[in-house]
Structure 1
Amino acid sequence: MQKSHEEHIESVEAQATADPRATDTSQQYDEAETRRILRKVDIRLVPALTVMYLLAFIDRSNIGNAKVAGMNQDLGLTGAQYNIALTVFFIPYALFEVPCNVILKLTKPSLWLPSIVLTWGVVLTCMGLVKNFEGLVVARFFLGVAEAGFFPGATYLLTIWYKRYEVQTRMIIFFAGASLSGAFSGLLAFAIQHMDGVAGLGGWAWIFILEGIATVFVALPLYWLLPDSPATASFLTEEEKRFLILRLENETGSSRGRVTNDDKISGRHVLDALKDWRIYIAVIIYWGNSIGVYAFAFTIPTVIRELGYSAANAQLLTIPIYVCAMICATVASIASDRQQNRSSYIIGGCAAASLGFIALLASPKPELPGLTYGFIFLAASGLYSFIVPTICWIGNNMAPSSKRAVGMAALISGGNLGGIIGSNIFLENEQPRYWTGYGFCLGILVCSIISTLVLRWAYHRENIERDNMSEESRAAVSERELMELGDRSPYFRYVL
């Protein structure tokens, strides 16, 4: 009789934990063989997540391109109504992220994540058919519901495949999709808006419809392509599965003790995560990114147009900004993994973005448009450089996997509330200076730097206390209890 999905996972992971030959297997793979196995995982997992996130960010932010293409005029929107349409997305988007990751743990990624993509593709397609402000608000609300589970689910999925100083290099590859989405979105919008009048619809409507249909078609093969976990990966041999499971169980930061990705989620895990005060400090760091990034995504095409460029050229001129931001974010994340440091790179990204916003506040507008355009590069590059280290910092420092799933979702949920602020700080009556928008982004970045220093101090203090624990105190805890303690284990060391 064929084993069920759950029984198969338990069988493989039990062998990896208990079978002496499995322990030997973890030792027989040298560095070259380890890289070979990880490449197999990379090829199967990372491209799928990259495409999904590229679509996610395009589909939530293309409303900025639609505005430039004439949406506000056709729907009769005022500036305040446009900001409301931006804002309403983030309310369900933030509220449903934690429940979505709980569902992910109760089901499996290959079922849950493609279903999310399929749903938001359908919603976006329908957005192209709205006729008034009310219809746009309803569509944006349900787009927020549909997209809520993807980003926390995708970032969590990476943590059950890679060690703590491997995961960020992979995460930045798929997160680069967010940076590239600005470039693709501008390029697509530039081409699609020329369909204005086709079937009686505006060019802005075709932006939503065609990009929504493309998302639906991408979602369908993901049900078969997206892998769930090392224990069930059909593209790995049994020895390779056990090897991946063991190397992650032994990843405690102290070369002693164990953690687990095999835990079944319970109310205790949810409460443990939600009671961890360090998540809420990290939310402030996240706001430094989310407020600025969403404000940029929705406003930068308009800002560039106000420098004297045509609507079509404003779409195209967003492309180099996002390409540059992607390159900077990728370099910073890879360096963070190699140097095994998170906090320094978070502070560096915040500092660079702060300098960019100071320069934008000081630059004359619309005079010297080239200078203002250049300062946008600096601000965007800094903003995109520190969000992945922030997410990985919390993910690296939470165990077991159920607590990590909830904790990462709570971080992203709270952090994405910044999108509500970012949607409302660039005020039309302040154009082209945007004192409130640039000033608020600068202020929250300063708060992010302070929060990073506080969080680093807290993790460092806890590591020192555990280093000073007596061996008798550690020995009093059983192996099973150590696994259940997760990041509270005396052998667990926090990443700085």
Structure 2
Amino acid sequence: MDSIKSEDKDLAQAHSISSPPRDVEEGHEAATRKELDRIYRKLDYRIIPALWCLYFMTSFGSNSYGLTLTMNSDQGHSIIQTLKLVGKNTSTASALYYVGYIIFDVPMNLIMTKVRPQSWLSRIVITVGLVYLCYCKLSNSGGLIAARFISGVVGAGTWPGMSYYISLWYPIERQTKRIGFYFTAAQLSASVSGLVNAGFQKMDGERGYYGWQWMYIIYGSVTIAVGISLLWWLPDRPFKEEKTASNRFVAFYNRIATPRHPLTEEEQAIHRQDLGQRYVFVAWGWKDLAMILSDLRVWPLVIMYFGVVGTGFGLAVFGSTIIKANNPSLSSINVSLLYAPIWLFDLGGILTITPFADRFKQYRYLIFCGATAIIMVGMFVTTFAHGPWNKYAGLLIAGYGLGPTVPICMSLAAEIFGARYGDVGIAVSAALVSGLGNLGSVTATYALYSGWPADVPRLYKYSNMMLVVMLGVSCVAAVVLEFIRDRVRQTR
């Protein structure tokens, strides 16, 4: 009997050794979470500023293009006047810019899955800068139309490419906030471009160049320099497959353009364990691509993106126009100063809402709908409130709601398609959502505000309400996505 008790005691002791108390396990988990938070903060310091600069520089050109159409128009030196453009020329050039984006978004992102993503993102920035540098030599409408199309082609894959890159380094529950951080670059570049272009107008005539030519010369040169720096600034894939270089040129390039890994070997092991089985090099073929394209879940995501990016781009391009229409007494300088806070509120929405989208990822669709509802409230206030300052407050409200919507769309795409299709699923879904969803930008800028002259005396009332309708459709699409996402997976 005593021997049995002794054995039970030994078993109990052994069990206590093999199974630590719950408070010990919780303490270990808390320590692990703390260590992971530290590792991801370390990655943030290296990756997020680089992506922010990348997106700022690539967005600045498209934002500034609209301003060059009227730069130094009082002196007869705007790009419209110097190239003798008519309305058909500018509309065709603008449309072809988006055509280039939409056609080449998917192929460009597919290439990124096969090459070093850091090098591919750097290539995008360098070629964007090179093409815009060539703008300074434009001499006729045909050159402008060709240049705008080429700009769309070389810039294709920027936004989905960054989303894919983030998915390589961060797990799903940490992506939305990071995407939101660098997403602010596009809005801030829209604000900065207006102020910077005012300075370039003062350079008009210097050394025989117009103000808009100086803008493209300096912008293109700086963008090329930033693109080259990304070769050493952005880290490559977190876990690389060692491959023998195919030729001497590739071997030389790999030797000089291989950035240092931001983590120590110990941190890399913890990082790899946290990502789990997520990071797998997927060999894909045309059959896999066809499966993604035929997956019903991609289309609600496209519709979600269509509504919110259309509204965001509409306010980015015509926000100052709306402010001026609601308060005609404002000077152009005051309009520019009032335009910037819209995007500061946008940043506030990113900082305060996207962390919840990461923490409660199962409710991302509801958070998306809530943010979209805030935009709709803002548009109603802007349209129907009494007094110019009340209307302006509506733009601030809309800006706050806009912040988290696009990052949530992209993180949802990565979560849904990455789990089933791997890297190629993330790359293709991001490109489809971004490319086709950008038709919302075309709708907002060319079918509504600028393309609806009769709406000007109504202070863009109908254009604003059409954006509200698009936002409502985006909310419905988010609910549909949540309803079908598991059912589609079960039936395949």
Q: Same fold (TM over 0.5)?
A: yes
Gaps of 5+ in 1: 1-25, 250-257, 467-487, 489-496
Mapping for residues 311-350 of structure 1, pairs under 5 Å = 311-340=332-361, 341-350=363-372
8 Å CA contact 2:36–2:270 kept in 1: the answer is no
Gaps of 5+ in 2: 1-27, 241-259
Change (3 A) 1:54 1:95: same
Map of 1:241 onto structure 2: 268
Map of 2:485 onto structure 1: 459
User: How far apart, in 2, do the equivalents of 1:54 and 1:187 lie?
Assistant: 15
What amino acid does structure 2 have at the position aligned with 1:41? L
Map of 1:264 onto structure 2: 283
8 Å CA contact 2:195–2:336 kept in 1: the answer is yes
Map of 2:426 onto structure 1: 404
User: How far apart, in 2, do the equivalents of 1:462 and 1:266 lie?
Assistant: 21
Residues 463-494 of structure 1 show CA distances to partners (whole Å, capped at 9, x for unaligned) of 9x79xxxxxxxxxxxxxxxxxxxxx7xxxxxx
User: How far apart, in 1, do the equivalents of 2:396 and 2:88 lie?
Assistant: 27
Tell me the secondary structure at the aligned position of residue 445 of structure 1: helix
With structure 2 as the length reference, what TM-score do the two structures score? 0.80
Mapping for residues 46-445 of structure 1, pairs under 5 Å = 46-69=48-71, 70=73, 71=78, 72-79=80-87, 81-232=89-240, 234-249=261-276, 258-306=277-325, 307-308=327-328, 309-340=330-361, 341-362=363-384, 368-399=387-418, 400-424=422-446, 425-427=448-450, 429=453, 430-432=455-457, 433-445=459-471
Change (3 A) 1:209 1:321: farther
What amino acid does structure 1 have at the position aligned with 2:295? D
Residues 132-185 of structure 1 show CA distances to partners (whole Å, capped at 9, x for unaligned) of 433322221111111102111111111111111111121111112122222222
8 Å CA contact 1:65–1:301 kept in 2: the answer is no
Alignment partner for residue 35 of structure 1, among 25, 30, 37? 37
For the aligned residues, what is the CA RMSD? Answer: 2.6
Tell me the secondary structure at the aligned position of residue 202 of structure 2: helix
Change (3 A) 1:66 1:398: same
With structure 1 as the length reference, what TM-score do the two structures score? 0.80
Question: Of the two, which has the highest radius of gyration?
Answer: 2
Map of 1:8 onto structure 2: none
Map of 1:22 onto structure 2: none
Per-residue deviation, 1:305? 4.1
Per-residue deviation, 1:276? 1.1
8 Å CA contact 2:176–2:411 kept in 1: the answer is yes
What amino acid does structure 2 have at the position aligned with 1:323? L
User: How far apart, in 1, do the equivalents of 2:318 and 2:81 lie?
Assistant: 17
Residues 281-315 of structure 1 show CA distances to partners (whole Å, capped at 9, x for unaligned) of 11011011221222222223333444433444433
Per-residue deviation, 1:27? 8.6
Map of 1:16 onto structure 2: none
Per-residue deviation, 1:78? 4.6
8 Å CA contact 2:410–2:430 kept in 1: the answer is yes
8 Å CA contact 1:426–1:434 kept in 2: the answer is yes
User: How far apart, in 2, do the equivalents of 1:225 and 1:397 lie?
Assistant: 30
Per-residue deviation, 1:68? 4.6
User: How far apart, in 2, do the equivalents of 1:277 and 1:454 lie?
Assistant: 11
User: How far apart, in 2, do the equivalents of 1:135 and 1:299 lie?
Assistant: 26
Q: How much identity, in percent, do the aligned residues show?
A: 28
Per-residue deviation, 1:398? 1.7
User: How far apart, in 1, do the equivalents of 2:30 and 2:173 lie?
Assistant: 21
8 Å CA contact 1:189–1:315 kept in 2: the answer is no
Change (3 A) 1:63 1:304: farther
Which one is further off, 379-388 or 145-154?
379-388
User: How far apart, in 2, do the equivalents of 1:387 and 1:160 lie?
Assistant: 19
8 Å CA contact 2:171–2:275 kept in 1: the answer is yes
Which one is further off, 384-393 or 238-247?
238-247
Residues 266-285 of structure 1 show CA distances to partners (whole Å, capped at 9, x for unaligned) of 32332222121111111011
User: How far apart, in 2, do the equivalents of 1:213 and 1:372 lie?
Assistant: 40
8 Å CA contact 2:300–2:477 kept in 1: the answer is yes
Per-residue deviation, 1:422? 2.3
Change (3 A) 1:85 1:329: farther
User: How far apart, in 1, do the equivalents of 2:397 and 2:118 lie?
Assistant: 38
Tell me the secondary structure at the aligned position of residue 412 of structure 1: helix
Which one is further off, 41-50 or 428-437?
428-437
User: How far apart, in 1, do the equivalents of 2:331 and 2:66 lie?
Assistant: 15
Which one is further off, 73-82 or 202-211?
73-82
What amino acid does structure 1 have at the position aligned with 2:449? F
8 Å CA contact 1:62–1:208 kept in 2: the answer is no
